[in-house]
Amino acid sequence: FMILTGRKGGQHVNPGIKKDQPKVVDSFTMKDIEDLMKKDKNGVVAICRCWRSKNFPLCDGSHTAFNKTCGDNVGPAVLKK
């Protein structure tokens, strides 16, 4: 029972992204991913998993500062060709 109720209040994974929606889902087609890869100098796409990016759902590096504040070790999912 504690597991089911443990994330109430300020313990949400998502601190503030699209809170007006019941569920945050971001979908990408292969073309979307390929277009994003072309824009990046290294040809990769990094998907945010810390929920702190100002460019969500893409990683903007905010996970580094977040990890320093709380001692966590989260980082992006990196898509490569």
Active-site residue set = 23
Q: Which residues, in sequence order, are bridge partners of residue 46?
A: 78
d(CA 56, CA 26): 9
d(CA 22, CA 2): 22
In the bound state with ligand FES, the residue whose beta carbon lies nearer, of 5 and 69, is: 69
In the bound state with ligand FES, the residue whose beta carbon lies nearer, of 28 and 62, is: 62
The one-character DSSP state at 71 is -
- Decide if 55 contacts 30 (C-beta within 8 A): no
In the bound state with ligand FES, the residue whose beta carbon lies nearer, of 4 and 13, is: 13
**57 near ligand FES, rule: CB under 6 A:** no
Residue choice 17, 36, 67, 75 for contact with ligand FES (CB under 6 A): 75
Q: Which stretches of the chain bind ligand FES, using CB under 6 A?
A: 48-50, 52-53, 59-63, 75-76
